[in-house]
Chains A and B, each alone.
Chain A
């Protein structure tokens, strides 16, 4: 037999005779054996020898139980491994979802510690002002103004107030002192939110049109934003930062 690339290799002839040659090569080997009498005779001898070997060595006694059990254990282990492998994409997808959702929730946190620390003094002033206004209103002290005084008071302290939604009711307006300059405290009742206070201070420098930032400060929900150089702080002791943050967002949209 030859190793000429045009002709089958000995291995191909062996595979042909044993029935393991790929179909694509069978025709070439058959043609080769048909045209080369020497190779054909050799092939017949090999085939006869193969049949004799199989007759002599193929028969087996009955399988021992231990061997059958070992085969069953291996099959079971392979099946379990296959099932685990097939579950991997789903587990990975679930893990990605959990990680993604966790990351999303982290990004949605009302405030980062550094930012809240920077805004804490402003929140403190707003909370103090609200407390003072509550006391003043409870005692009907002079200085409390009605809703009709809102625009005038805002103009006096130089605050650019956002237009309030129509269904928000102003309960009281008060000019309050801060370490820098007078500010305005507006007490509001809004549907779904109840009563909360809006503290507005002109000349704040929180950053260019800082977006609403809601966070929890000493047990009170606080939302801070800035528009037109006026900082506004919404304070609500009974709500979550998310609720007060939505109210702030509503005001920002009306300012834009």
Chain B
């Protein structure tokens, strides 16, 4: 492993898109914490996002996965500039918008749209569906051919709702239908990039696929680039050409879907994939079993060096002292970058021995194994 040759490489060399629409460099967001005595002052910061590099090509769909507190949602909000970054660059279509003013952002706002997780709270209950979808056009002074109302009806039809529902209110729709309204609203301005923050995780299983298929159709037919933020790895795999894995405010691994899902190198990616509960089928091969210990540490005091080291089975002294750079490891495809000093083999197949870090699990499984041994002996 240690003889791995490492080559720094540009991230967007995936071949899926020639032109970069959005690129993010060293993106950082620290939320200050106030406290202290007798006068309150800044005593620390939640390092929600801490130096994220990411790019999205024109018409490309990029997935951003990670567990709660990894900063994926904050990253989405920074890119749509609902939040102002503490540091770093956000380059959209050649312009740095990281600290752009409201006025400078105005033309860009219509090109970057957001879809939110909760279809119940993200739609104004006192407005009709028509008004909700129409208002982005009004705010931006856009007058489509044939008028706004005609456009809204087209959009409703596009997202699979009845255009006659123009005058209904959000509460008259089910969760899945509301999320369709959210999609229609995001499409109203013909955006170039949609940031979708957990767009299906509030929906029932049978409805999730409806919305995923709709988003896929929109992405492919209208050539809209997507940043798809989700905790569900299986859905992201289905939707995204390229996937970035985040842990505690940092991207730990990024690459094309096949590389991330079938040839992961970062131990955290391995652990994450191994934790996904899959319906076992006849022909599914045995996957490795990795069980981490404890929860994600607090982003207020993240571990030094590699942030995953406190839960990693391969951690050594170097991991605490030196932060691993996000680079292309030898043997990886172009654009597949990993931030790890001691990467894993590029396979997800079952190992000779499971990795079980959790002390309680370890103890219980030892007991069971001993009991089994006794039974077979006696």
Q: Do A and B originate from a single complex?
A: no
B: residues with CB less than 8 A from A are: none
